[in-house]
Amino acid sequence: MLSFGPYETVSRIAAGGMGEVFVARRHGTSAFEKKVALKVLLPHLAHDREFVERFFDEARLVARMNHPNIVQIFDVGETDGRPWLAMALVEAVSLSRLQLEAAAAKEQLPLPVVRLLATGLLEGLAYAHALKGPKGEPLGVVHRDITPSNLLVSSDGAVLLTDFGIAKATLNMHRTQPGRLRGKLAYLAPEMLTAEPVDQRADLFSAGVTLYQLLTGVSPFLKPSDTETMDAVKRAQPPRVESLRPDVGPLMAAALHRALSRAAADRFASAREMREALSDGPVASAPELGELVRRLCAKQLGAFVETPSLTPSSIEGGTSSLPAPRTVSQPVPERGSRAWLWRSVALVTVLGVAAGGWRWSRPAAPAVVEVEAEAPVLAAPEEAAPTPELEPLPPVVAPVAPRPTARPVKTRPAGTSRPTHPPLIEPVRVGFLTADAAPWAEVFLDGHALDRTPLSRFPVPSGSHTVTFKSSDGRKIERPVRIEEGQVAVVRVEFAADK
Cα separation, 167 vs 153, whole angstroms: 21
Cα separation, 31 vs 23, whole angstroms: 19
What's the confidence (pLDDT) of residue 306? 57
CA angle at residue 106 from 103 to 112, to 5 degrees?
75
Instruction: Measure the CA dihedral 191/192/197/200, to 10°.
Output: 90
349 CB-side CA count, 13 A: 34
Phi/psi zone of residue 421: left (φ > 0), alpha (ψ -120 to 50 degrees), beta?
beta
185 CB-side CA count, 13 A: 18
Phi/psi zone of residue 244: left (φ > 0), alpha (ψ -120 to 50 degrees), beta?
alpha
Burial class from Cβ neighbours inside 10 Å (0-12, 13-18, 19+) for residue 158 reads: buried
**Domains located in the chain, CATH noted:** 3-91+304-370 (3.30.200.20), 93-148+164-286 (1.10.510.10), 430-498 (2.60.40)
What's the confidence (pLDDT) of residue 497? 55
Mean pLDDT by 10 residues, the chain (499 residues): 88 72 84 86 82 79 85 84 85 89 93 96 94 85 89 92 73 49 81 87 95 93 90 90 94 95 95 93 94 92 55 36 35 41 40 32 34 31 35 35 43 49 45 84 85 75 90 90 87 75
Closest to 287 (Cα-Cα) out of 97, 431, 486 = 486
What's the confidence (pLDDT) of residue 31? 82
What's the confidence (pLDDT) of residue 115? 96
Residues recorded for the chain: 499
Cα separation, 219 vs 80, whole angstroms: 42
How far is residue 369 from each of residues 14, 67, 73, 212, 274, measured CA to CA in Å?
A: 11, 15, 9, 24, 26
What's the confidence (pLDDT) of residue 23? 82
What's the confidence (pLDDT) of residue 362? 33
**Contact (CB, 8 A) for 274 and 255:** yes
The residue annotated as part of the active site, out of 57, 145, 156, 203, is 145
Q: Catalytic: 446?
A: no
**Contact (CB, 8 A) for 285 and 253:** no
Cα separation, 81 vs 46, whole angstroms: 6
Sheet with 488-494: strands ordered across: 455-461, 430-438, 488-494
**Contact (CB, 8 A) for 192 and 183:** yes
Which stretches of 190-344 are assigned E, i.e. beta strand? Answer: 327-328
What's the confidence (pLDDT) of residue 475? 92
Which stretches of 346-425 are assigned E, i.e. beta strand? Answer: 369-370
What's the confidence (pLDDT) of residue 467? 94
What is the pTM assigned to this prediction?
Answer: 0.59
Cα separation, 340 vs 332, whole angstroms: 15
